């Protein structure tokens, strides 16, 4: 059976826009409207890419994902919990690593290309069928047989 070739995804294709606003509990300033045009999502739902835009406003963010951003229009300011500040304008590219906590401020209405990778949750460590107690018992039996 022949395997189906994946199709190349063009951002020129029309996709449905998703409009939203930051959670009111996270909103710091303004009334930003967010628009997402998600052009691609892998079957495992760990990798996404598309176009995102925002009107002016500021809200708290907590990143569990890694995100690459290429700012096409506008100006944004990200402030970390540690007080670090990063400002970007149209033409700039940057990465927000998983674990970043702080605020996102859209200073001038912006539009960006995004690529998001969501790491798989850590798998619980599986103990071998024979735990430490069983290994000790087997060693004791082996020693007893040798005597």
Q: Render pLDDT for 114-127 as a digit per residue (tens, 0 to 9).
A: 999 999 888 887 76
Please give the Cα distance from 127 to 19 (Å, whole number). Answer: 46
The backbone torsions φ and ψ at residue 108, rounded to the nearest 5 degrees and listed phi first, read -125, 130
Mean pLDDT, rounded, for 96-115: 98
Indicate the pLDDT class of residue 145, thresholds 50, 70 and 90: very low
Identify whether the C-beta of residue 95 lies closer than 8 Å to the C-beta of residue 88: no
Please give the Cα distance from 82 to 95 (Å, whole number). Answer: 17
First CA to last CA distance, the chain = 61
Which residue, among 65, 66, 104, 69, has the nearest Cα to 90 in the 3D structure?
A: 69
Mean pLDDT, rounded, for 63-80: 98
Indicate the pLDDT class of residue 2, thresholds 50, 70 and 90: confident
Look at 42 and 134; give whichever has higher pLDDT: 42
77-96 confidence digits (pLDDT tens): 999 999 999 999 999 999 99
Indicate the pLDDT class of residue 103, thresholds 50, 70 and 90: very high
pTM value is 0.80
Mean pLDDT, rounded, for 20-39: 98
């Amino acid at each position: 059976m022949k395997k189906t070739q994946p199709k190349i995804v063009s951002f020129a294709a029309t996709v449905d826009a998703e409009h939203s606003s930051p959670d009111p509990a996270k909103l710091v300033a303004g009334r930003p409207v967010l628009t997402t045009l998600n052009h691609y999502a892998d079957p495992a739902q760990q990798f996404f890419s598309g176009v995102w835009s925002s009107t002016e406003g500021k809200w708290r963010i907590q990143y569990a994902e890694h995100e690459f951003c290429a700012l096409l229009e506008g100006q944004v300011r990200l402030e970390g919990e540690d007080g670090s500040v990063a400002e970007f304008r149209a033409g700039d590219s940057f990465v927000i690593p998983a674990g970043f906590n702080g605020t996102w401020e859209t200073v001038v209405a912006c539009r960006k290309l995004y690529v998001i990778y969501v790491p798989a949750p850590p798998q619980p460590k599986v103990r071998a069928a024979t735990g430490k107690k069983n290994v000790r018992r087997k060693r004791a039996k082996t020693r007893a047989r040798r005597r």
